[in-house]
């Protein structure tokens, strides 16, 4: 007789984002939003360059970092190769996201915030980069230490993207 798999369903996730590229932030945004849609508690903790995701003057200008990887999966551009390949690939990825109804960064953050998710900035990195709460978008709940992140993550599955 086959043994039945029994497991405790995940109730809470804490997702750490430390990168500032489109391919570095979207997995965390998708995971947080998906968790909320499944009825889980979700927390985003942004550290190092992940702070760019919520920094007002940077969040709308995130670029693709691994251009070579994306270029190998995209059809070649018609005509001559664009001068700024990074900008070209970034724009194509954003167009693809839009065609798939995947929201831009700012809208994704609003969805997570409005869905009950908490978004935190790392205090050590905010201090290092001389950033204050005024530098961040309104969806950032607070600037917290790593210890406070662990407290907020009590009982959660911690995911590092």
Q: Domain segments of the chain: what residues?
A: 12-65+104-160
- How confident is the model at residue 3, as a pLDDT? 67
| DSSP bridge partners of 94 | none
- How confident is the model at residue 89, as a pLDDT? 86
- How confident is the model at residue 1, as a pLDDT? 56
pLDDT (tens digit, 9 = 90+) per residue, 30-63?
A: 999 999 999 999 999 999 999 999 999 999 999 9
pLDDT (tens digit, 9 = 90+) per residue, 99-156?
A: 999 999 999 999 999 999 999 999 999 999 999 999 999 999 999 999 999 999 999 9
Three-class secondary structure assignment of 119-136: EEEEHHHHHHCCCCHHHE
pTM of the predicted model as reported, rounded to 2 decimal places = 0.88
Options 3.40.1260.10, 3.30.2090.10, 3.40.50.10470, 3.40.50.970; CATH for 12-65+104-160 is 3.40.1260.10
pLDDT (tens digit, 9 = 90+) per residue, 24-35?
A: 999 999 999 999
Q: Under the phi-then-psi rule, with left for phi > 0, alpha for psi from -120 to 50, and beta for the rest, what region is 102?
A: beta
- How confident is the model at residue 17, as a pLDDT? 98
CB atoms within 10 A of CB 2: 4
Q: Which residue has the tokens 């960064």?
A: 105
- How confident is the model at residue 42, as a pLDDT? 98
Q: Which among 118, 109, 104 is positioned nearest to 151, based on CA atoms? A: 118
Give the residue, 141 or 89, on which the prediction is more confident. 141
> Can you read off the two tokens belonging to residue 42?
């979700």
Beta strand segments in the chain, E: 12-17, 41-46, 118-122, 142-144, 157-160
Q: Which among 145, 101, 108 is positioned nearest to 31, based on CA atoms? A: 108
> Can you read off the two tokens belonging to residue 97?
């996201």
Handedness of CA 132, 136, 140, 146 (dihedral sign): negative
């Amino acid at each position: 007789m086959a043994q039945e798999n029994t497991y405790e369903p995940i109730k809470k996730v804490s997702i750490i984002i430390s990168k500032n590229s489109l391919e570095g932030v979207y997995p965390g945004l998708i995971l947080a939003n998906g968790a909320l849609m499944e009825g889980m508690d979700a927390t985003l903790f942004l550290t190092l360059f992940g702070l760019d995701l919520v920094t007002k003057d940077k969040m709308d200008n995130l670029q693709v970092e691994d251009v070579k990887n994306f270029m190998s999966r995209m059809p070649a551009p018609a005509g001559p190769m664009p001068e700024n390949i990074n900008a070209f690939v970034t724009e194509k990825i954003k167009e693809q996201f839009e065609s798939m109804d995947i929201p831009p960064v700012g809208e994704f953050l609003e969805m997570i915030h409005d869905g009950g998710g908490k978004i935190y900035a790392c205090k050590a990195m905010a201090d290092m980069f001389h950033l204050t709460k005024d530098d961040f978008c309104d969806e950032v709940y607070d600037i917290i230490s790593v210890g406070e992140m662990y407290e907020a993550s009590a009982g959660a599955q911690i995911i590092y993207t």
